[in-house]
Amino acid sequence: MKDTVESFQTPDGRTIGGVMMEMKHITLRFGGVVAIKDISFDIREGEIRAIIGPNGAGKSSMLNVISGFYHPQEGEVWFHGSRRPSMKPFQVARQGIARTFQNIALFEGMSVLDNVMTGRLTQMKTGMMAQAIWWGKAEKEETENREKVEKVIDFLEIQHIRKTPVGRLPYGLKKRVELARALAAEPKLLLLDEPMAGMNVEEKEDMSRFILDVNDEFGTTIALIEHDMGVVMDLSDRVVVMDYGKKIGDGSPDEVRNNQDVIDAYLGVAHD
């Protein structure tokens, strides 16, 4: 079993490290509705981990649990070998977890550059007094972070829209800006909630390439939710399959593809 080894090589030569994040017996309820029921899985350092499942399976809720937006009634979240106490989303972000959203959540009133710069906020520490005066510390910090942000902007090929207000951008570019904002934080773990939803084939190919490049060049661990099976199977190292809030499969793309429960969930078998 892969789960027991410390680290291993993927067929394409990347190294997957030890367990970075582990979800243990997570249960999340909204009133009487059970969104997630006793789910456990782990995310390893350096891998691309996909979460798939039909609509309403609880995938987004799971991502929201990871990013601290929802607090599960039962279960534990382990991060870097220790149990994570109940945290607010901004504290989670400061631990090095960044994410994108299913429905784009950019700051519409700001330019692309400013949006991406917000990704650096967790790293910018100058106090308010220093910033009010600006010269010296604040300006230096701003410039340093700007340089990092420009690298991300280059990487995602959005230089030409740097100063454009986000509200004016088409959908595909917005998705890319959102990814840029998350990357600017230099996260250890990147959560992508349907990064390719609503895109055409060409845009999907671009996005897939960016995701692979991010993983490859920065060694960023990625957990993503996606509906497009082809994309998921191509991109990910391991896949968790959810249905009605329960985990019905977990393993390599090939293992999952041949799992009878998964086939049933996707092709629809009478539940009895």
Residues that bind other proteins (CB under 8 A): 30, 64, 67-69, 88-90, 92-94, 98-99, 101-103, 105-110, 114, 117-122, 124, 126, 128, 131-134, 138-139, 141-143, 145-147, 150, 181-182, 185
Closest distance of CB 109 from other proteins, Å: 5
Read off the tokens for 145: 């972070």
Which lies closer to other proteins via its Cβ, residue 135 or residue 200? Answer: 135
Distance in angstroms (rounded) separating the CA atoms of residues 211 and 196: 11
Minimal distance, residue 228 CB to other proteins, in Å: 21
Characterize the bridge pairing of strands 246-251 and 238-243.
antiparallel
For residue 169, the SS3 value is: coil
Distance in angstroms (rounded) separating the CA atoms of residues 169 and 108: 10
Q: Which is nearer to other proteins, 108 or 255 (CB)?
A: 108
CB nearer to other proteins: give 96 or 251.
96
Q: How far apart are the C-alpha atoms of 186 and 90, rounded to whole Å?
A: 15
Residue with Cβ nearer other proteins (138 or 224): 138
CB of 69 to other proteins, least distance (A): 6
CB of 193 to other proteins, least distance (A): 8
245 and 62 Cβ atoms separated by less than 8 Å: no
| Smallest gap from residue 70 Cβ to other proteins (A) | 10
CA distance 104 to 178: 7
Nearer to other proteins (CB atom), residue 114 or residue 203: 114
Q: Which residues of 223-256 are buried (b: 16+ CB within 10 A; e: fewer)?
A: bbbbebeebbbebbbbbbbbbbbbbbbbbebeeb
